[in-house]
Structure formats: C-alpha cells, structure tokens
Copies of this chain bind each other. A is one copy, B any other.
Amino acid sequence: MSLNTFGHLFRVTTWGESHGPALGATVDGCPPGIEVDAEAIQVWLDRRKPGQNKYTTQRREADEVEILSGVFEGQTTGTPIQLMIRNTDQRSKDYGEIAEKFRPGHADITYWQKYGIRDYRGGGRSSARETAARVAAGGVARAALSALAPQMKVTAYMVQMGERGIDRSRFDLDEVGRNPFWVPDAAAAEDWAGYLDALRKEGNSVGAMIELAVSGAPAGLGAPIYGKIDTDLAAAMMSINAVKGVEIGEGMAAAALKGDENADEITMGPDGPVFHSNHSGGVLGGISTGQDIVLRFAVKPTSSILTPRRTITKDGADAEIVTKGRHDPCVGIRAVPVAEAMAACVMLDHLLLNRGQVGEGLRGRIGPA
C-alpha cells in the first residue's frame, strides 16, 4: 500500500494509472477566494503534454483537466478541489510484452514483488503519466501564490542532457520557452537537438540535469527540523519518476569546499540584509534567507529502450526484452514542468504553514526600530 499525499497544509493526493479511465489530484487546503478555473490550470498541463515534438513520447493525450469540486463561480471555496484528467489514448496493445517481462531499470519488478498485482499497462501507477496530476495541482498552487505572494516566481530549466551542458555565459531565461528542451541557452538548444535525434534514432535514451530557481520568496519559510524548506523541496524532487539525486546551493560540491570559501557574507542594505554570494542556495538551517532558492536534480535515462537487455518473466524464466512503444528519449524534458509544479506546491504549503504557526510576515525585523 501507499502514501499518495504530499504537503502539510496544502495537501495534494494524486491518483490514477497510465491506462485506467482517468487520473487526477485531490487538492485539500487551498485557501478560499483564490481565482482559478480549468483554463488557468490547462496552461500548465499543456507545457507538460507529450507528443508536442519529436523529443517526447508520441502518445497523444488531450490531457484536458476538469474541475469537479471546490471551485464556485471562478473562485476556490476552501473545500477540496478535485482535478480529473481522462485517459483518452490507451493503446494497450503496445504493452503486451511488459505484462509478462520486467523491464530492467523499471518499477515493474518491484511493484510486482511488493503488491503481488500490478496494472502493467503503460507502467500503471509508476508511469510518468502520474505527473500530469501533479502539474494540475501545481496550477492551483500557482494561482494561490499569485494572490498571496505575487512576487514569487518558480522556474525550472534543463542545464544538462547526457554529455551536453550549457554555457552559463549565454544564460537567458527567456530562451527557456522557445525550445523543446526548456534550456536557457539558444546555442545549446540547437546542439542538443542533433544529439537527441541521434539517440532517439538508435532507440536509446539519456539522462538530464534540471535546475530549479525560486525567486521572490520571503525570508522565514521552512519548518525546522523535519519540515525544512530544502528537505521538503528535495523530497518533492526525489518523488518525481527517475530522479536519482538532488542538491541545493553548492550541493554535492560542498564536500570539497572550505569554510572560508562557503560562507555567504552579509552587509546591511537599505531594505534589509544583503548577502554577497549564494553558496547556501537561499536556505540556512532549513529556513529561506530571502535570496533565490536554487536546486538541481538529476534524472536517469528512461529504461524503455530498443537495445535488447536480459531480464526475467513473472514465472521466473530468463528472457530478453526490447521495449517498443512510444517512449521519451529524454524523460528529463517533461520533468521540467513537473518540478515547477511540485515546487509551487511546496512554497505555497510553507507560506500557509508560516502564517498558521508564526503569523503573517517576518517576526524578527533587523535594524533600528
């Protein structure tokens, strides 16, 4: 059995399988009076939608979200919001072989071992399709953030795909929406296109690194010790399919640093403290500093590839598997909007938590009275 809910006060429960009748998110704890409708949520779902270019799975789903509850006359009412997306393109025949054989590197085998039953069609619950529900919930979170913390911006983008990276000197957030890779570097986008094309043609797949930045977050968000803002963001990212690592600020590189290299010096500015670097990634002791929160996470290459791999069947026979069907050569691409959605949920959650447990705004003003 399972724990399909995340969040403390803003709680999202996702449900649904890749090839069942529908999937969705039950969102509980959204404040009342937030303006939101299906169109506003659809915008975000459309960003994630597969089949938009040759670099994502050719499965074509309308991915149309329906709001079944919790919104009245265009505003949230404070009651649970049910977001449903019908599964329309369920070509189950594609998945005949995986009913019997476990894909190496896939959750097929562990779901079977744990539950003794699995909806093998399209990966069932372990399919990346589940993330559509997260994006829908993220749409609600964004609407609430727009109202409660309009200055906050949550943006994710790819910074590495396989062996290819970006050139930080060309970094331009405006580029992110202009290429199929959500990469903030126009030249990299071009280069990556050729690189992924070649991989796709050979039926292979590749990993990716995504960076997520939250700007405009107030200082004071995060609930030590076990609801730290960075812990919760890290857990949110780790819960996304295929994510194998997450780091904040200097991240894994912090292991190699010395104390005098790592400290972010502070001076007093007209509007409050000014940090002179951001090694911390915007979080100290699990609480936001008011700087940009910056984290990165790594997505492994999809396990559904055309290269034959050794595996076993449900009955314990040795076998070989080649995963045909419509799969993403770089599943990291679609992880970008998912990461944004998860982060929006976490940030809203902590905004509400802070309000409930500490009160509105910063309590500890720095500077003369």
A126 to B78: give the CA distance in the assembly, Å. Answer: 12
Question: Which residues of the partner chain B approach A21 to less than 8 Å between Cβ atoms?
Answer: 66-69
Q: Tell me the residues in window 18-69 of chain A with beta carbons closer than 8 Å to chain B beta carbons.
A: 20-24, 26, 28-33, 66-69
Q: Tell me the residues in window 301-350 of chain A with beta carbons closer than 8 Å to chain B beta carbons.
A: 301-305, 307, 309-312, 314-318, 332
Asked if A82 and B22 make an inter-chain contact with CB atoms under 8 angstroms apart, the answer reads yes
Decide yes or no: A105 and B1 within 8 Å by CB, A125-B225, A224-B126, A254-B298 being known contacts: no
Decide yes or no: A355 and B356 within 8 Å by CB, A230-B238, A285-B126 being known contacts: yes
Give which listed residue, B246, B355, B365, contacts A234 with CB less than 8 A. B246
| CB of A235 within 8 Å of the partner chain | yes
Question: Which residues of the partner chain B approach A199 to less than 8 Å between Cβ atoms?
Answer: 258
A23 to B81: give the CA distance in the assembly, Å. Answer: 10
Of chain B, the residue at the smallest CB distance from A290 is B113
Encoded as 1 (CB less than 8 Å from any B CB) or 0, chain A from 72 to 86 comes to 100111111110100
Decide yes or no: A117 and B78 within 8 Å by CB, A244-B247, A245-B254, A363-B32 being known contacts: yes
| CB of A162 within 8 Å of the partner chain | yes
Question: Which residues of the partner chain B approach A88 to less than 8 Å between Cβ atoms?
Answer: none
| CB of A173 within 8 Å of the partner chain | no
Decide yes or no: A77 and B357 within 8 Å by CB, A206-B258, A235-B238, A305-B260 being known contacts: no
Asked if A79 and B125 make an inter-chain contact with CB atoms under 8 angstroms apart, the answer reads yes
| CB of A184 within 8 Å of the partner chain | no
Decide yes or no: A23 and B109 within 8 Å by CB, A226-B4, A309-B265 being known contacts: no
Asked if B316 and A368 make an inter-chain contact with CB atoms under 8 angstroms apart, the answer reads yes
CB distance from A265 to the nearest CB of B (A): 4
Question: Which residues of the partner chain B approach A227 to less than 8 Å between Cβ atoms?
Answer: 2-3
Q: A79-B119, A163-B256 are in contact. List 4 more A-B contacts (CB 8 A).
A: A33-B363, A77-B125, A125-B225, A260-B307
> Size class of A's contact patch?
35 or more
Of chain B, the residue at the smallest CB distance from A351 is B356
CB distance from A229 to the nearest CB of B (A): 10
Asked if B225 and A267 make an inter-chain contact with CB atoms under 8 angstroms apart, the answer reads no
A133 to B323: give the CA distance in the assembly, Å. Answer: 40
| CB of A95 within 8 Å of the partner chain | no
Question: Which residues of the partner chain B approach A116 to less than 8 Å between Cβ atoms?
Answer: 32-33, 362-365
Question: Which residues of the partner chain B approach A160 to less than 8 Å between Cβ atoms?
Answer: 255-256
Decide yes or no: A225 and B33 within 8 Å by CB, A15-B68, A118-B77, A356-B356 being known contacts: no
Decide yes or no: A3 and B28 within 8 Å by CB, A160-B256, A356-B353 being known contacts: yes
Q: Tell me the residues in window 215-245 of chain A with beta carbons closer than 8 Å to chain B beta carbons.
A: 219-228, 230-232, 234-235, 238-239, 241, 244-245
Of chain B, the residue at the smallest CB distance from A86 is B68
A260 to B332: give the CA distance in the assembly, Å. Answer: 16
Asked if B78 and A115 make an inter-chain contact with CB atoms under 8 angstroms apart, the answer reads yes
Question: Which residues of the partner chain B approach A142 to less than 8 Å between Cβ atoms?
Answer: none
Interface stretch, picked from A175-183, A186-194, A273-281, is: A273-281
